[in-house]
Every structure is written in C-alpha cells, then in structure tokens.
C-alpha cells in the first residue's frame, strides 16, 4: 500500500500556501498526494431549490477543474496525484472520511489563523480536523497571519 498525504483545499490563497507544503512533504516522504475538496453549499441554496441545481452543477464543475489543475501541478513536480470531490454539510467530517478511505499518513491544510471570538463564532475546520484526525495534521497559516503580532 502506498504512502498517501491528503491535501484538503478550499481553493483560497491560504490553501495555495498549504499546497506548496504538501508538495514538499510528498517529495520528502515519497508519498502520493490525494487532493480533495469537500464542497459545502451555501444555506441559501436550500431556499432557492429551483436555481440550486444549476448553481450546484456549476460549483462542481469549477471545483473539479481546480482540483485537476492542482493535480497537474503536483504531477509536473514528479508526484503521483489523484483528486477527490465530495459534497458535505460538515466539511471537517468529509476531510476525515477521505483521509480514512485513502489510508493517508498525514493531512495538510491551510488555516486562517482565527482566534478569540471569530474562531468561536465561525469555527475552524482545521481545529476540528486536528482534534479528530487519527493521523498527523500539518496546518499552514496565511503569510499575513504569520506576520501579525
């Protein structure tokens, strides 16, 4: 069975920084890369059922395209990569399920570095993944968050 690292992305700039780290770790450990996104639909879509299917289809196509781009970048760096797109209301649960399904040795993801009230109100996917994962988790903060005092 191959060593695999799960890179979970939300396609943000922070995730882009984390992708660079996932590439480095994959090379260092000789691991394959599983590049995943758990697509979470905005609550408003459930209220607009008629338009929701069209929006959901467009979102899936966009996410698939972005995942394919990341996989192509990983492959050009000499790393075997595959993509996974899942839909889920609870993003951290989706990430953990993918990690278990693929038997990953590590999870890499970006974090916004929220603290205090904003973390309490908004929550943190990264914090939940760290708390509940059965394998090591590497989080990468934004360059802006790293510069803050």
Higher pLDDT, 87 or 117: 87
Residue 81 backbone dihedrals phi, psi, to 5 degrees: -140, 145
Looking at the DSSP bridge assignments, the partners of residue 141 are 111
pLDDT digits (tens, 9 = 90+) for 33-49: 999 999 987 666 556 66
Question: 3-class DSSP state for residue 43?
Answer: coil
Q: Are strands 32-39 and 4-8 parallel, antiparallel or unpaired?
A: parallel
Q: What is the DSSP letter of 10?
A: -
* Average of per-residue pLDDT across 114-122: 48
Say how far apart CA 14 and CA 27 lie, in whole Å.
Answer: 21
Higher pLDDT, 132 or 147: 132
Higher pLDDT, 21 or 118: 21
Instruction: Please name the helix (run of DSSP H) or strand (run of DSSP E) that holds residue 83, with its range, or none.
Output: strand 81-87
pLDDT digits (tens, 9 = 90+) for 55-86: 788 889 999 999 999 999 999 999 999 999 99
> In sequence order, which ranges of the chain are alpha helices (DSSP H)?
13-29, 44-47, 49-76, 91-102, 116-122, 125-132, 143-147
Domains annotated on the chain, with CATH: 4-144 (3.40.50.620)
CA dihedral (6, 12, 15, 16) in degrees, to 10, reads 120
- pTM (2 d.p.): 0.85
């Amino acid at each position: 069975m191959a060593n695999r690292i799960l890179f979970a992305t939300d396609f943000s700039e922070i995730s882009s920084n984390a992708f660079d780290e996932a590439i480095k770790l994959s090379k260092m450990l000789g691991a394959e890369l599983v590049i995943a996104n758990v697509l979470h639909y905005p609550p408003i879509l459930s209220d607009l059922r008629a338009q929701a299917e069209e929006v959901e289809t467009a979102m899936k196509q966009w996410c698939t395209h972005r995942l394919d781009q990341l996989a192509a970048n990983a492959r050009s760096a000499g790393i075997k990569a595959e993509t996974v797109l899942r839909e889920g209301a609870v993003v951290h649960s989706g990430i953990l399920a993918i990690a278990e399904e693929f038997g990953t040795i590590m999870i890499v993801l970006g974090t916004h570095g929220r603290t205090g009230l904003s973390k309490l109100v908004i929550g943190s996917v990264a914090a939940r993944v760290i708390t509940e994962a059965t394998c090591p988790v590497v989080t990468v903060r934004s360059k802006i968050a790293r510069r803050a005092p």
